[in-house]
Amino acid sequence: MVDAIIGVALGLGLAAAAGLRIFVPVLGAGLAAHFGVVALNPAFAWVGTIPALIAFGTASALEIGAYYVPWLDHVLDIVATPTAVGAGILASAAVVTDLPPLVTWVVAIVGGGGAAGLVQMLSVAARVKSTLTTGGLANSVVATGETVGAASITALAIFVPVIALLFLILAGVLMLRITGRLRRSRDR
């Protein structure tokens, strides 16, 4: 049971990171599996293979670089939203190993897809706000923060998954409180 909880926490942490950068958490999970730090669901053993790591590494570098191109960052946000949900589902399903297949897929689709989608929507909102308030001049700062966030959440999820999950829940609660305060102050 403990292994199942750790797998779910790891999967949800990786999924949340996929909301910031699609390929970084999948690359992180693949590297962790390749070096024996994380066990993968047997159906996803390919994620830790050398060809997959090369593909995920290349895709990560291209994705990170593309967010620094002024017009391309907005195009990526349009494409990244549904893709992030898919990556969140993939990342979750790949690391949940001790649950029946039906439960694994429910966790992956509902939890992983939901976490990735929520984080992606917050990321898009931050980029839109940055564009509107700075004319896009601060978008590179937002892009850097997203990349650092994705890498940090991925590492935290891999090495201390339950703490990563607790941190993400706390961050979500704080975001809801801040959003609620902003709405109330705007309504006054």
Q: What pTM value is reported for the model?
A: 0.90
Q: What is the pLDDT of residues 111-146, one digit of tens each?
A: 999 999 999 988 888 888 888 888 888 888 999 999
Which of these, 48, 76, 49, 50, lies nearest to 62 by C-alpha position? 76
Q: What is the pLDDT of residues 17-33, one digit of tens each?
A: 999 999 999 999 999 99
CA distance 135 to 102: 47
Which structural domain, as residue segments, surrounds residue 168? Answer: 2-187
CA distance 90 to 27: 12
Q: Say what the pLDDT of residue 182 is.
A: 64
What does each of the 188 residues of the chain score in pLDDT, given as a tens digit?
Answer: 778 889 999 999 999 999 999 999 999 999 999 999 999 999 999 999 999 999 999 999 999 999 998 878 878 888 888 999 999 999 999 999 889 999 999 999 999 999 999 999 888 888 888 888 888 888 889 999 999 999 999 999 999 999 999 988 898 788 778 777 766 776 77
DSSP code of residue 41: P
Q: 56 CB contacts (<8 Å, ≥6 apart)?
A: 23, 26, 27, 30, 47
Number of domains in the chain: 1
Q: Say what the pLDDT of residue 172 is.
A: 79
Q: Say what the pLDDT of residue 72 is.
A: 84
